[in-house]
Amino acid sequence: MDRLGPSAPALELAAALHRRELSAVELLDACLERVDELNGELAAVVWRNDEDARAAAAEADRRLAAGEQAPFLGVPLPIKDLTPVAGWPVSYGSHSAPPEPSAESELVVTALERAGFVLCGRTNTPEFGLITVAENKRYGITRNPWDPARSPGGSSGGAAAAVAAGMFPLAHANDGGGSIRIPASYCGLVGLKPSRGRVPRLAQSWLGAVVEGVLTRTVADSAVVLDAISWIDPQAWYNAPAPERPFAEETRTPRRRLRIGLMAEAPLGIPTDAHCSAAAGAAASALESLGHAVEEVQVPTVSEELIAPFIVLTQGGLADYDGVDWSAVEPHIAHQRRLSSETSAYDYVLAANALERISRLQTARWGRDFDVLVTPTSAILPPPAGKILEAAHAAPEEPVPEVVASVSFTAFGNVTGLPAISLPLHSTEEELPVGVQLVAGPWQEGPLIALAAQLESALPWADRRPAMRQIA
381 half-sphere exposure, CB direction, 13 A CA radius: 19
Confirm if 289 and 281 have CB atoms less than 8 A apart. Answer: no
How far out from the chain centre does Cα 446 lie?
18
Q: Which bin fits 412, alpha (ψ -120 to 50), beta or left (φ > 0)?
A: alpha
Q: Are 405 and 268 in contact (CB under 8 A)?
A: no
Q: How far apart are CA 278 and CA 393, in angstroms?
A: 33
Phi, psi of 275 (to 5 degrees): -65, -35
Q: Give the contacts of 81 (CB within 8 A, at least 6 positions apart).
A: 46, 47, 90, 91, 92, 93, 122, 123, 124, 125, 158
Q: Give the separation between CA 244 and CA 254, rounded to whole angstroms.
A: 15
DSSP string computed for 230-267: ----TTSS--PPPPSS-HHHHTTSPPPP-EEEE--S-S
Strands 118-123 and 45-47: antiparallel
Residues with a catalytic annotation lie at 80, 155, 179
Would you list the domain boundaries of the chain? 10-458
Q: Looking at domain 10-458, does it have CATH number 3.40.50.720?
A: no
The DSSP H or E segment spanning 36 is helix 24-42
Q: How far apart are CA 193 and CA 222, in angstroms?
A: 10
Crossing angle of helices 107-114 and 219-229, in 10° steps, is: 110
Q: Give the chain's largest Cα–Cα span.
A: 60
Say which DSSP state 383 is in: P
Q: Identify the pLDDT of residue 471.
A: 43
Give the C-alpha distances (Å, rounded to integers) separating 397 from 2, 95, 355, 400, 428. 49, 21, 23, 9, 33
pLDDT score recorded for residue 426? 98
Q: How far apart are CA 78 and CA 246, in angstroms?
A: 25
| Residue 442 neighbours by CB distance under 10 Å | 17
Collapse the DSSP code of 201 into the 3-class scheme (helix H, G, I; strand E, B; otherwise coil) and give the result. coil
> Structure pTM?
0.97
Q: What is the pLDDT of residues 318-373, one digit of tens each?
A: 988 889 999 999 999 999 999 999 999 999 999 999 999 999 999 999 999 999 99
Reported residue count of the chain is 472
Q: How far apart are CA 168 and CA 165, in angstroms?
A: 8
| Strand, coil or helix: 152 | coil
Is-cis flag, bond preceding 23, omega within 30?
A: no
Residue 294 backbone zone (phi > 0: left; psi -120 to 50: alpha; other: beta): beta
In 161-202 the beta strands, taken as DSSP E runs, fall at: 171-175, 190-193
Q: Say which DSSP state 400 is in.
A: P
Strand pairing report for 259-262 and 372-376:
parallel
Q: What is the dihedral of CA 103, 233, 179, 284, to 10 degrees?
A: 160
Low-confidence ranges of the chain (pLDDT < 50): 1, 469-472
